[in-house]
């Protein structure tokens, strides 16, 4: 397997102002990145550095102003290939459908027999801890649970590459650790490649095989950290001495960038 | 029932009671106004005799038709206008001033164009209701969260599928608000037109009864129109409320 699962070459994104007034916003890049088949890759970076923009480029929602992205050898051009599943940063649950129907939404559009579909939905409900909420509407759930509904909706289609944009942002620290365990076991079970965007350094350090550190806008990868964790890790990895070292290295790379992001222009390394 | 609801009900009962008393003691003369209990008896007699069934069917049928056209055309137009920014910018100020136009002033012209049949009456009903549906549909579509549209695109849904499965369900409460207006407007349009110039329908019969001091026909017809309009409105309101409640918005 020499071919990367997804490859970003010289990818750049510049937004022009919709009204044509003012300077264009150079949001991202240039970025070079190869994701290996089946790896767990995390991206950390200060807010506004272009993480969500990067994700939208990878699913063809926007075309990069420069560079190319190929998924399984095929260039991505304006539409999301089958095989990629995404969970957005914002709440994307459908207020008019029950939790169960929300989760089944993408599946129902696939050529798959109904029994298999229903089975997958029930499995996802169980896995995401939503069984007792299957028949309620999203408005009755907390923000974190709604995000779990969206994760489940993506998982049931069994994507080979899963992109997650700060999926645990709305959760408390303890639940985040436990959801991390769920994602890890899911990753092991499915063999999917995972691309996780997060602003939490410890989350990235605990979950990922490799962590990309992004600079402030325009976001570029300024460091890539290999964790060398064993495949069957879980949240108890935080007790490991090496965990502290990984987190420390991430913070060393990010500190100056984060200061820039909050407006301290004269930040010193 | 809520406390406000009870008070509302009591208020209506008091007003009806007062009317009953005032007519009975002769403070309001029977040529102007019937006692409420008499209106109900007349209504019963009118329905039992069946002599106005044709007029009722014509008016309700035409208003129903106008309603269906106003809502379906309004929703489709709303969806299309929403996608065209330029058109939207041009039309928005026109929508805002639309209800300043006295639509009935065009009725004679419509008769010239569409003939003496039911068409001009239905047309007026549609003209009145249509814009309310368009404006409310646009309002609802403006509020569809962008992330839902992204979700649709990621799922490879085309424009029609996105409209049917994402944008319209998401905007449904607002569209129902538009539909409520359309119920009232289509009745107003059709009955108003019948008043002015037509040879049948409830509006015509009311006007005819009025000219002949026939209170036994006029008031029951007015009550029927009230009951029809209010009850349809209540059904849609219920539906609207349950949608909003489901979304945690009420
Ligand atoms: N559609 C857009 N038009 C203009 N600017 C945008 C658009 N999307 C994002 N941006 C800008 O690009 C930058 C990166 O945004 P984003 O990718 O959301 O950052 P992050 O997810 O890392 O917080 C921000 O400055 C944002 O304002
Ligand atoms: Mg983001």
Q: Where are the domains of chain B?
A: 1-33, 37-246
Tell me the H-state helices in chain A.
51-58, 99-104, 114-127, 143-155, 173-190, 201-207, 241-261
Query: Which of B147, B150, B172 is closest, CB to CB, to A96?
Result: B172
**Cα A199 to Cα A221: distance, rounded to the nearest angstrom:** 15
What is the pLDDT confidence band of residue A35, given thresholds at 50, 70 and 90? Answer: very high
What is the pLDDT confidence band of residue A218, given thresholds at 50, 70 and 90? Answer: confident
Query: Which of A88, A91, A137 is closest, CB to CB, to B150?
Result: A88
**In 3D, which of A94, A136, A101, A93 has the Cα closest to residue A117?**
A101
| pLDDT (mean) for B169-191 | 93
Best residue among A45, A48, A58, A217 to mutate for probing ligand 1's pocket (most ligand atoms within 8 Å of CB) is A48
- Going from the C-alpha of A238 to that of each of A41, A191, A211, A247, the distances in angstroms are 18, 23, 16, 10
Atom of ligand 1 nearest to the CA of A62: 1
Residue of A nearest to B151 (CA): A92
Cβ(A5)–Cβ(A37) below 8 Å: yes
**In 3D, which of A147, A152, A172 has the Cα closest to residue A106?**
A152
**Cα B164 to Cα A94: distance, rounded to the nearest angstrom:** 13
In the predicted structure, residue B237 carries a pLDDT above the cut 70: yes
Q: Long-range CB contacts (< 8 A, 24+ apart) of B115-118?
A: B116/B198, B116/B199, B118/B58, B118/B62
Across the A/B interface, how many CB contacts are shorter than 8 Å?
52
For B37-246, CATH number out of 2.60.40.10, 3.30.470.20, 1.10.3720.10, 3.10.20.30 equals 1.10.3720.10
Range of weakest confidence among A84-98, A226-240, B81-95: A226-240
Residue of B nearest to A62 (CA): B150
Q: Is A224 helix (H, G, I), strand (E, B) or coil?
A: strand
- The per-residue pLDDT for A265 is 58
Q: What's the A47 CA to ligand 1 centre distance in angstroms?
A: 9
Nearest ligand for residue A216 CA: 1
- The per-residue pLDDT for A178 is 83
In the predicted structure, residue B32 carries a pLDDT above the cut 90: no
**Cα B37 to Cα B35: distance, rounded to the nearest angstrom:** 6
Is the pTM higher than 0.90? The answer reads no
A59 contact residues in B (CB cutoff 8 A): 154
Query: Which of B151, B166, B248 is closest, CB to CB, to A139?
Result: B248
**Cα B102 to Cα A230: distance, rounded to the nearest angstrom:** 77
What is the pLDDT confidence band of residue A269, given thresholds at 50, 70 and 90? Answer: very low
Residue nearest atom 3 of ligand 1, based on CA coordinates:
A15
Token representation of residue B22: 């005032």
What is the pLDDT confidence band of residue A47, given thresholds at 50, 70 and 90? Answer: confident
């Amino acid at each position: 397997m020499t071919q990367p699962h997804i490859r970003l070459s010289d990818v750049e994104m510049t937004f022009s102002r919709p009204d044509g007034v003012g300077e264009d916003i150079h949001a991202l890049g240039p970025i070079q990145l190869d994701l290996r088949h089946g790896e767990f890759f995390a991206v950390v970076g200060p807010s506004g550095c272009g993480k969500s923009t990067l994700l939208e480029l990878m699913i063809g929602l926007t075309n990069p102003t420069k560079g190319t992205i190929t998924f399984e050898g095929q260039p991505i051009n304006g539409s999301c290939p089958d095989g990629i599943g995404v969970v957005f940063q914002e709440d994307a649950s459908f207020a008019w459908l029950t939790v169960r129907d929300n989760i089944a939404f993408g599946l129902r559009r696939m050529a798959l027999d109904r029994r298999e579909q229903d089975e997958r939905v029930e499995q996802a409900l169980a896995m995401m801890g939503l069984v007792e909420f299957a028949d309620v509407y999203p408005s009755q759930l907390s923000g974190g649970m709604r995000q779990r509904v969206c994760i489940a909706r993506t998982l049931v289609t069994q994507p080979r590459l899963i992109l997650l944009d700060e999926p645990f942002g709305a959760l408390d620290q303890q639940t985040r650790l436990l959801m991390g365990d769920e994602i890890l076991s899911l990753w092991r079970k499915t063999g999917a490649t995972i691309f996780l965007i997060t602003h939490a350094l410890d989350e990235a350090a605990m979950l990922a095989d490799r962590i990309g550190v992004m600079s402030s806008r325009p976001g570029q990868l300024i460091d890539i950290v290999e964790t060398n964790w064993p495949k069957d890790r879980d949240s108890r990895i935080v007790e490991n001495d090496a965990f502290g070292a990984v987190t420390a290295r991430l913070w060393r790379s990010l500190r100056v960038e984060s200061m820039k992001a909050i407006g301290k222009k004269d930040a010193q390394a | 029932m809520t406390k406000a609801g009870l008070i509302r009900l009591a208020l209506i009962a008091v007003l009806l009671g007062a009317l009953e008393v005032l007519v009975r003691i002769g403070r309001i003369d029977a040529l102007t106004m019937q006692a409420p209990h008499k209106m109900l008896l007349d209504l019963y007699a009118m329905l039992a005799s069946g002599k106005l069934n044709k007029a009722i069917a014509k008016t309700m049928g035409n208003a129903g038709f106008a309603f269906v056209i106003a809502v379906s055309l309004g929703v489709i137009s709303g969806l299309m206008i929403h996608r065209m920014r330029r058109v939207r910018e041009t039309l928005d100020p026109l929508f805002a001033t639309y209800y300043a136009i006295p639509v009935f002033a065009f009725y004679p012209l419509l008769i010239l164009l569409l003939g003496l049949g039911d068409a001009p009456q239905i047309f007026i009903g549609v003209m009145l209701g249509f814009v309310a549906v368009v404006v409310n549909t646009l309002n609802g579509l403006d509020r569809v969260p962008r992330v839902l549209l992204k979700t649709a695109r990621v799922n490879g849904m085309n424009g029609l599928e996105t409209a049917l499965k994402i944008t319209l369900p998401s905007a449904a409460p607002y569209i129902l608000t538009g539909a409520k207006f359309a119920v009232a407007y289509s009745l107003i349009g059709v009955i108003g037109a019948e008043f002015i110039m037509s040879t049948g329908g409830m509006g015509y019969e009311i006007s005819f009864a009025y000219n002949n001091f026939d209170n036994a026909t006029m008031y029951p017809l007015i009550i029927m129109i009230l009951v029809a309009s209010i009850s349809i409105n209540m059904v849609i309101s219920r539906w609207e409320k349950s949608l909003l409640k489901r979304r945690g918005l009420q």
